[in-house]
Structure 1
Amino acid sequence: MSGYSLGIKELDELLGNIREGTNLMMIGPPMSRKDELLNAIVFNSQNSENSAIIVSTREPGERILAWFEDNGMDIQNTDIGIVDCVTRTLGLGAADTEKIKRASSPVDLTGIGVKISQFFEEMLVKKQKKKIHLCINSLSTILMYSNIQTVFRFLHVFTGRVKAANGFGLYVVEDQMHDVQTIATLKQLFDGMIEIKAVGDAYAIRVVGMTSKPTPWFEYSIEGTKVSLRKT
């Protein structure tokens, strides 16, 4: 069946197949384990037809690949690419590798765009992958260095690329870090949202905009690559 899933049973049952070319914002408070949630979604989608690009403004590429490897992914035989926006900002002169391409910093949107495009070319044209994920973690870091107009133009290009490639885009935003106008501007580029909120000491998740009404809120826990939900 064509389309995409989140690899989270309860949400996938409610959403059905996520249509190709969909772009979603994942927005939630700090410390709500959005990084692991994003990684779990990518992990659970990977097979011989799939590929993924993760733009990281938080962690070096090696650390992200190590998370996937620690959770049982055969990195060498999986088409996953990291655009690392961290290592060179630390003054480390690490070279690009097959799986990791380095941008100079989160402010270097031109460089980040070039690296994303190189991975698109490798995965979709050279390797003929049928499906591709583009994940940016996080837009909030990029917005700290660039104005909303510049980020909007950058995102407009790549959400368009995801649509054209029948891909699936996921873009992480920190809640309460941006004003209402910034969020409203960004929302124009997305088909829906994965919303996260604090519920006491736990966190809850729902999906908005993909069905006629939002999904219910579910409290979630993450163990490795398994995301478990229960209704709030």
Structure 2
Amino acid sequence: MNGDGGFEWVGAASETAYNLGEELDNRTVPAGTNLLVVGPPMAGTRRFGIELLAAGAEDRPIIVTNRESARTIRSDHADCLDGPVGVIDCVTKQGGEPRLDSPSIRYAASPDDLTGVGMELTDLLAGTPDGKSGGDRVLFDSVSTLLMYSCAERTARFLDVVTARIEEQDAIGLFALNSLAHEDAVYERLCRLFDGVVRLDDGGVVDAELPES
């Protein structure tokens, strides 16, 4: 399948199921599930997503970050991310910040470098899972930042390809979205791309529409 910008998805992984941790009552979702995590700015969608990554002790977490650098993500969330973590950093190159020297950290040119993000995610998902026996958990933080750089239609096309790739790899995808930043039509268009939606407020989970495992 060819995605936005011309990169190509290839390969597949073995099936598994994913436990979503205590915040979601240890419910499980099938391999290949993509969830939209929605909340206002103070609800902590990034932190919630990282906690969902950490809920799979045997799984490999991958973070696509277009709001903070890899250095900041690792520093601020070291209590959750205490093992090998793959990071695709869309901030550092554009901002001229110092890079971290690690084969598990990749750098896209900017938040709207969709081709670069797609290529790096393809590579990380296809790579050796660091000796672990589980699957891959991917957090995209955030869809709202992507919409600041790209129109809604281009963003939707890109996410359609990314979610398909995650499904093909039997991974799980978590995509953070600011619930106050977008028109209803954009929000509804995006929701149709995902298998379920988790809604947050500043007190935690409001409701979760999840597929059956």
Q: Calculate the TM-score normalised by the size of structure 2.
A: 0.83
Give CA-to-partner distance per residue, 1:25-45, whole Å, 9 cap, x none: 000100111111111111121
Give the equivalent residue in structure 1 for 2:54: 43
Which one is further off, 137-146 or 112-121? 112-121
Residue 105 (structure 1) aligned with residue 110 (structure 2): yes
Equivalent residues, number: 198
For 1:1-232, list aligned pairs within 5 A.
Answer: 2-8=16-22, 11-12=25-26, 15=27, 17-47=28-58, 50-71=59-80, 73=82, 75=83, 78=84, 80-92=85-97, 94=99, 97-123=102-128, 130-198=134-202, 202-210=203-211
Say if 1:23 and 1:204 are closer, same or farther in 2 by CA, change over 3 A: closer
- Consecutive unaligned residues of structure 2, counting only runs of 5 or more, are 1-14
Task: Say if 1:51 and 1:129, in contact at 8 Å, map to a contact too.
Answer: no
- Which residue type is aligned with residue 36 of structure 2? M
Whether contact under 8 Å (1:95, 1:102) holds in the other structure is no
Q: Which is higher, the Rg of structure 1 or of structure 2?
A: 1
Q: Deviations over 1:4-48 (max 9, x none)?
A: 011116522xx4x2111110000010011111111111112132x
In structure 1, how many angstroms separate the alpha carbons of the residues matched to 2:112 and 2:81? 33
* 1:121-152 deviation digits (Å, cap 9, x = unpaired): 2146x968541112100000000000111111
Change (3 A) 1:171 1:71: closer
Relative to structure 1, the CA distance from residue 55 to residue 161 in structure 2 (aligned partners, 3 Å threshold; closer, same or farther) is same
Within 2, Cα distance between the matches of 1:185 and 1:205?
21
CA RMSD of aligned residues (A): 2.3
In structure 2, give the amino acid aligned to 1:45. Answer: G
TM-score with structure 1 setting the length: 0.77
Distance 1:113 1:138 in 2: 15
Give, in angstroms, the shift of residue 91 of structure 1: 2.2
Match of 1:89, SS? helix
Question: What is the DSSP-based 3-state SS (H/G/I as helix, E as strand, rest coil) of the residue aligned with 1:40?
Answer: helix
Residue pair 2:62, 2:139 contacting (<8 A) in 1 also: yes
Unaligned segments of structure 1, at least 5 residues: 212-232
| Contact 2:108 2:117 (8 Å CA) reproduced | yes
- Between 1 and 2, higher relative CO (CA 8 Å, sep ≥ 6) is seen in 2
SS at match of 1:105: coil
* Residues 34 and 172, structure 1, Cα contact 8 Å, conserved in 2: yes
Task: Provide, for residues 53-78 of structure 1, a one-character-per-residue CA deviation record: whole Å limited to 9, x for no partner.
Answer: 110111110222234434471x3xx3
